[in-house]
Amino acid sequence: MNHTNVVDVKAWIDTRPVSRFQWNVLLLCFIIIMLDGYDAAVMGFVAPALIEDWGISRAEMGPILGAAMFGVAIGALVAGPLSDRRTARRPRWAEKSSDYVHRGFRRLQPADRLCYQP
């Protein structure tokens, strides 16, 4: 008994409403992007006041602002791999157990309702 069901994924997605979870993910992504660029935007507004308050030229302010971006780049290059080494192995048990649970529920479904059959 060989069943081959073709599922039009685009049509399937288009017929489903956007869930509350999807809206929450979208909102969370928006907040992360907004906060990620906040430091660079603030520097553009604060720089003229600092130039006036410190009595320096605009050319002297360039390396100060550049150092902030350099610090962000170095922090990402150092902190990313360091945190990967320290925390990457811990959540694997959750990943594996959720995979086994998912496989178990998938086996409970009738074969004709599966989109992907290994």
What pLDDT does 118 receive?
47
Q: What is the pLDDT of residue 78?
A: 86
Distance in Å from the first CA to the final CA of the chain: 15
Q: Show the 3-state SS of the chain.
A: CCCCCCCCHHHHHHHCCCCHHHHHHHHHHHHHHHHHCHHHHHHHHHHHHHHHHHCCCHHHHHHHHHHHHHHHHHHHHHHHHHHHHHHCCCCHHHHHHHHHHHHHHHHHCCHHHCCCCC
Q: What is the pLDDT of residue 45?
A: 87
pLDDT at position 74 is 87
Q: Are 65 and 47 in contact (CB under 8 A)?
A: yes
Mean pLDDT by 10 residues, the chain (118 residues): 77 89 94 82 86 90 83 83 69 69 65 51
CB-CB contact of 35 with 49 (8 Å): no
